[in-house]
Structure 1
Amino acid sequence: MRPTHSPSASPAIARPRKTPLNRAQIIGFWGAWAGWTLDGMDSFIYALVLAPALTELLPRSGYAATPGNIGLAGSILFATFLVGWGCSFIWGPIADRYGRTRVLAATIFMFAIFTGLAATAHSVWSLGVYRFLAGVGIGGEWALAGTYVAESWPEDRRKMGAGYLQTGYYAGFFLAGVLNYTIGAAFGWRMMFLCGAVPVVCSIMVLLRVKETAKWQSSVHRTDAGAVAAPPVVPPLRAILSGAYRRRTVVAAVLLTVAVVGLWAGAVYEPSAVIQLALKAGYTKVGASRAASLATGVLSIGTILGCLALPPMAEALGRRKTLAVYFIGMAATIWVTFGWVFYAPNALVPFVACLFVLGFFGGNFALFSLWLPEQYETRVRATAFAFCTSIGRFIGAGINFLIGGLVLHFGTLGLPVALTSIVFLVGLAVIPLAPETKGMPLPD
């Protein structure tokens, strides 16, 4: 006789509850997220005000403000900014020794101050110096924010926390677009740079309200002067470039280089492309600037959704397969958007529509916020994160010089940017060499 079952005799299997976040973890996350948001806003302000700023500053510097000169000077300044980003690897060893929160606050303070000072620039040279120094601060924020969230959140929430954190950078893109649509269109590029000084307030909040991570505290010893990290047998930078870490550091640096080239080609040249298409469609200069702002919003929404979709995909497919999917999507979308749609008749609307898809696959950066901390122990984690993210920026600077030269040579923006899609083939070849960390806890 078969037993009968009633609802009371057969209780439903309850899903395991996620570990609740405490007050310190919540405040710490929002502090890191706000810094990353303002970092993204600051980065993209330059892309949005590039044309009007150089139109004014090139004649003051002894150069005609021709489209070719604006494109070349813009690429050189982008490259200068990226070199500053590359130099930001200095923050990693400092954070491994003195803690995550204080150094995170310092990076935010630095990029905010020098972005604000860019509003006072009276030549392309002074603007280049300010953008270089702002880049040093901006480049350090991601490494410190990503390390902080990975170490402070519970293991069962850490992966999704990486996706949530990465949305901040692209929320910053959206915020920059809103500011350009309103303040930039009404008051000009200098006021946009002044808006970039606002993150100073965020840096003060981080310094006063965000507590240090328990993982870092457990790796330090206390002295009468305060908490400082115990000197390791091998310095962190040397440690990640030798022994068991060498291969994964080289592979991670290559993969991040591919991602950075894709970001700076596909996303940062987007406003200039939209402005060109809008002017061709009969928009006024103000209307074209606002169209670029709206397009930035479309790109940002797509990227935020890509960041949120990535952690569950990484848990289901693994880190390597997920990155491959996003890299294939980036390659295809950059080629179609800039190599084909950009040259189509009445291209403005379909180009902006393609930006949503480009943005979605641009969410691949969320994987690195999740994956990099899983590959290194606490005492070298910030150094590894900062180093791997910085190498790609140096190479990205060279790519920007190349793009600028190709734009000047061909007299068009679309094809040079479309050609950067080839770099993702390198990424796909390198992905199998990276360690698969799916299901593994964060190392101590």
Structure 2
Amino acid sequence: MNSLTDSTPVARRRTPLNRSQIVGFWGAWAGWTLDGMDSFIYALVLTPALTELLPRSGFAATPANVGLAGSILFALFLVGWGLSFIWGPLADRFGRTKVLAGTIFTFAIFTGLAATSSNVWELGIYRFIAGVGIGGEWALAGTYVAEAWPEDRRKMGAGYLQTGYYAGFFLAAALNFTIGVHFGWRAMFLTGAVPVVVAILILLRVKEPEKWQKAEANAVQSKPLREILGPAYRRRTWVACILLTIAIIGLWAGAVYEPSAVIQLATRAGMAKADSIRMASVATGLLSIATIIGCLALPPLAERIGRKKTLAIYFAGMAVSIVGSFGWAFYLPNGLAPFIAWLCVLGFFGGNFALFSLWLPEQFETRVRATAFAFCTSFGRFVGAGVNFLLGAAVLHMHTLGVPVALTALAFVIGLFVIPFAPETKGEVLPQ
């Protein structure tokens, strides 16, 4: 009898990843990273781009016009994001990797074309179409990782994947700190064309997940959009839509207006224009690092206490940190340092998006999973576009951006009352 063997627990070994799973993950991660970079480039170059393009379009480049035009263009971008639900049914029909590559190719090409804009109308069109591509990337990347990775790894895979988006924020801030300051906003948009290489890599090197291949082989003719809105899935679909809408409102309220807020606070503190822009880049980098930490902390917490409790903690943290940063620190006489400190807290709880990468695939079967993911995210983006437009109007009317952004904390309070209606999937395997 071997007492050592009897008394020592056997260490659990995680399932090793094969080459296709590794390459596929890094392809999805890189696409999501460059997606985040592309999204945030607009926030960083908003003022210089519109200052140049508004006069060419027949409008004065006043701060009020820049703010209003910026909000309208960003709302158009979010509408493009909303229309990205078209990618979900395509991925359920033709495969995850091909359509994922298509989303990356779309946003890369039209982000690069934005550098050629000669007026605000052209910039709006390019950003709208880029938004359609960007909006589909998360749904397809999240679906791919959930299906391709082994069951004992996919939860942390969702956290790893979500870090890419905020790594993209950090990359955009670094590019703005170097390329943006020295070469201008057009050069920043040109860097957004780089993801074409990632799209080609995904097409050539990554296989379809086995779960999708099996589902496709056994598939009966169905209409996935009708199915997720039918009796079997209706409740979880609409609850997920509401929760994602709240998360998107908070993300974009904070992220879009963060650089402008930092620039205003830095200017108020006596910094020169170039130094204020650099400070905005530094603040964005800190926000990104904090969010990456929040993404990595989330999957273990969700495994320990459950999906619903974890989201409640992150939503409560978002509400408090939005009020603390935009409602309080922004109005302090020397508010730059406190504002940036609160941004780090805001960033950590902004990692709530990692939960959706983990949780949404667990709620739907393979044959409708990509459609459900894309539909729920798109719904939130449509509402987010409307809220962003209202925020821009409120900023213009109130002549301040702090209070309007701080009021978005109310959305997270509402979210705390919606979370109990969602299904708890802790301990469940990914449904086939």
TM-score (norm: length of structure 1): 0.96
**Where does residue 419 of structure 2 map in the other structure?**
431
2:164 paired residue number:
168
Deviation digits for residues 87-124 of structure 1, max 9, x if unmatched?
00000000000000000000000000000000011111
Which of 269, 279, 282 aligns to 1:281? It is: 269
Partner of 1:81: 77
Name which of 176, 179, 182 aligns with 1:183.
179
Work out whether residues 216 and 379 of structure 1, in 8 Å CA contact, stay in contact via their aligned partners in 2.
Answer: yes
Distance in 2 (CA, whole Å) between partners of 1:14 and 1:348 is: 52
For 1:134-213, what aligned pairs fall within 5 Å after superposition?
A: 134-213=130-209
- Which structure 2 residue ranges, 5 or more long, are not aligned? none
The CA deviation at 1:311 is 0.2
- Structure 2 residue matching 1:156: 3-state secondary structure: coil
How many angstroms apart in 2 are the aligned matches of 1:231 and 1:291?
A: 56
One-letter identity of the residue aligned with 1:168: G
Counterpart residue number, 1:54: 50
Deviation per residue, 1:383-418 (Å, 9 max, x gap): 000000000000000001110111011101111100
* 2:107 matches 1:111: yes
How far apart in 1 are the matches of 2:7 and 2:229? 53
2:158 & 2:4 partners in 1: Cα distance? Answer: 40
1:409 to 367, 382, 397: 397
Of 36, 40, 46, the match for 1:40: 36
1:31–1:202 contact (8 Å) kept in structure 2: yes
User: Residue 281 of structure 1: CA displacement?
Assistant: 1.4
**Residue pair 1:91, 1:383 contacting (<8 A) in 2 also:** yes
Determine helix, strand or coil for the equivalent of 2:256: coil
Q: Give the aligned partner of residue 20 of structure 2.
A: 24
Cross-structure match for 1:389? 377
The equivalent position to 2:325 in structure 1, one of 319, 326, 337, is 337
Pairwise CA distance, 1:15: 2.4
The one-letter amino acid of 2:345's match is: V
Alignment of 1:358-369 (within 5 A): 358-369=346-357
**Structure 1 contact 68–407 (Cα < 8 Å) conserved:** no
Letter in 1 for 2:228: I
- The residue matched to 2:346 in structure 1 has which SS? helix
- Poorly superposed stretches of 4+, deviation over 6 Å: none
Q: CA RMSD in A?
A: 1.3
**Structure-1 residue corresponding to 2:307:** 319
How much does 1:24 deviate?
A: 1.1
Tell me, what secondary structure is at the counterpart of 1:268? helix
Question: Could you tell me which amino acid in structure 1 is paired with residue 62 of structure 2?
Answer: T
Displacement of 1:344 in angstroms is 0.3
**Which range moves more in the overlay, 174-183 or 421-430?**
421-430
State the distance in 2 between where 1:392 and 1:9 align: 53
Deviates more, 1:84-93 or 1:269-278: 269-278
Relative to structure 1, is the Cα distance of residues 8 and 96 closer, same or farther in structure 2, using a 3 angstrom cutoff? closer
Structure 2: distance between partners of 1:20 and 1:268:
39
Counterpart of 1:320 in structure 2: which amino acid? Answer: K
What per-residue deviation string (whole Å, max 9, x for no partner) do you get for residues 316-357 of structure 1? 110000000000000010011000100101111111111111
| 1:84 to partner: Cα distance | 0.2
* 1:281-332 superposed Cα distances (whole Å, 9 cap, x missing partner): 1222211111111111000000000000000000011000000000000001
Question: How many residue pairs are counted as aligned between the two chains?
Answer: 432
Change (3 A) 1:404 1:93: same
CA distance in 2, matches of 1:12, 1:245: 44
Q: Which amino acid aligns with 2:298?
A: L
Distance between the aligned counterparts of 2:269 and 2:5, measured in 1? Answer: 69
2:119 matched to 1:131? no
Give the whole-Å Cα distance in 1 for the aligned partners of 2:309 and 2:97. Answer: 33
- Structure 1: tracts of 5 or more residues without a match: 222-228
Find the partner of 1:95 among 83, 91, 95: 91
Q: Which amino acid aligns with 2:23?
A: I
Give distance in 2, aligned partners of 1:315 and 1:219: 27
Of the candidates 339, 345, 348, which is equivalent to residue 357 of structure 1? Answer: 345
Calculate the TM-score normalised by the size of structure 2: 0.98
For the residues of structure 2 that align with 1:197 and 1:42, how far apart are their CA atoms? 9
